[in-house]
Amino acid sequence: MVKSTVRFSETVMDRVEELVDGDEFSSKSEFQRFAVEYVLSEIDDYEPEMLDFDEVRDEVFPDHALGRDAEAADEGDGEFYQVAARVRQFALRGEIGTARELIDTKYQRPIRGRWCSTT
């Protein structure tokens, strides 16, 4: 395995520790491995390598199968995650106006509590 160092905010790590204390994950490292595998599997045609990934995913996201079908119909090929990643990059660089513009370009106002894609 390759070792990687990642820095998270205290708020994020507090939530991760709650998940570890709540028996969803045995350690922070296990959660972080799962999180990376999960995001990659949602963005690409990536096949997770984590042992028992499907079981862990189903435990953490019990409605995954239903949600995945709805997301695929709404967003197709992980477009939402790609847009979210770009918005985060702009925000981290202090380019809030550009981040807002990207959101406004991709999504209309919410209709009955849901955001609607303009593409």
For residue range 17-56, what is the model confidence (pLDDT) as tens digits?
Answer: 988 898 778 898 888 888 888 888 888 778 888 888 888 8
* Cβ 41 vs Cβ 50: under 8 Å: no
Every domain of the chain and the residues it spans:
9-62, 74-119
* Cβ 57 vs Cβ 38: under 8 Å: yes
Name residue 111's beta-bridge partners. Answer: 114
pLDDT at 73 over 70: no
Whole-model pTM? 0.51
User: Would you give the DSSP letter of residue 44?
Assistant: S
pLDDT digits (tens, 9 = 90+) for 86-117: 888 888 888 888 888 888 888 765 555 555 55
Q: Which residue has the tokens 């045995």?
A: 26
pLDDT of residue 76: 55
Token readout for 56 is 């862990």
